[in-house]
């Protein structure tokens, strides 16, 4: 795993693909264990969660469940804007269904809080969030995700679905912005 340079910033290896695979299996097992119904609906939050959702959903392996997609945007560059926009909404009827949102990262918590409110408006049976990454020290609003593959320090991350200005989403491993020496 070598360093990555993008737009003048250097990112160093942080979490390996092996470690990701291991924690994805753990979270999948926890979700399966906690499921109350056999047909929950998973909602993957685009763009960042697409890779995590693909791996997690396969690991959950519940043939009678569903997966769908919504899209939110809040970040510009390496900082959260605090403003959260829904760019693509839900078409499925989720009333009285068990819903699990699959999100890439919970940082300030603004996106998660907005999503919970938006989804709760449809009156699901239950609502949980499964996040690949959670930055506990950055949380400003709302609650922690019910499931998190990794708790990480408040640093900027990329790869495995997460981007820096839409770049570098396709890496196998997760990288962290290198602090300036
Ligand atoms: P929040 O609303 O501040 O919790 O931020 C949530 C969204 O910001 C996530 O869904 C990500 O798309 C993006 N984000 C937060 N932290 C990072 C990061 O370290 N790298 C890349 N994107 C991030
Ligand atoms: Mg996101």
Q: What pLDDT, on the 0 to 100 scale, is given for residue 77?
A: 63
Element (H, E) at 32: helix 17-34
- Please indicate whether residue 109, judged by its CB atom, sits closer than 6 Å to ligand 1: yes
Ordered by where they begin, the domains of the chain are 15-175 (3.40.50.2020)
Residue 107 known to be catalytic: yes
Q: Which ligand is nearest to the CA of 153?
A: 1
pLDDT interval class at 81 (50, 70, 90) = low
- Please indicate whether residue 20, judged by its CB atom, sits closer than 6 Å to ligand 1: no
Among residues 87, 105, 115, 109, the alpha carbon closest in space to that of 158 is found at 105
Query: From ligand 1's centre to the CA of 35, what distance in Å?
Result: 27
pLDDT > 90? residue 78? no
Quick: pLDDT tens for 139-174: 999 999 999 999 999 999 999 999 999 999 999 999
Q: What pLDDT, on the 0 to 100 scale, is given for residue 80?
A: 65
Q: Which value, in Å, is the radius of gyration of the alpha carbons in the chain?
A: 16
Ligand 1 atom 20, closest CA: 157
Written as six digits, the tokens of 169 are: 């989403």
Strand partners, 130: 102, 147
pLDDT > 90? residue 84? no
| C-beta neighbour count of 168 within 10 angstroms | 17
């Amino acid at each position: 795993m070598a360093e990555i340079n993008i737009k003048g910033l250097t990112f160093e290896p942080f979490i390996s693909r092996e470690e990701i695979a291991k924690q994805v299996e753990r979270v999948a097992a926890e979700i399966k264990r906690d499921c109350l119904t056999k047909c929950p609906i998973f909602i993957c939050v685009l763009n960042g969660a697409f890779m995590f959702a693909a791996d997690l959903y396969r690991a959950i392996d519940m043939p009678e469940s569903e997966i769908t997609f919504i899209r939110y945007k809040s970040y510009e560059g390496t900082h959260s804007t605090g403003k959260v926009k829904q760019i693509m909404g839900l078409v499925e009827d989720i009333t009285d269904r068990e819903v699990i949102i699959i999100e890439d990262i919970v940082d300030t918590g603004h996106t998660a809080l907005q999503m919970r409110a938006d989804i709760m408006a449809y009156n699901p049976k239950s609502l949980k969030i499964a996040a690949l990454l959670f930055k506990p020290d950055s949380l400003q609003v709302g609650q922690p995700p019910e499931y998190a593959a990794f708790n990480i320090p408040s640093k900027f991350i990329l790869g495995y679905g997460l981007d820096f200005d839409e770049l570098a989403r396709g890496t196998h491993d997760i990288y962290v912005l290198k602090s300036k020496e």
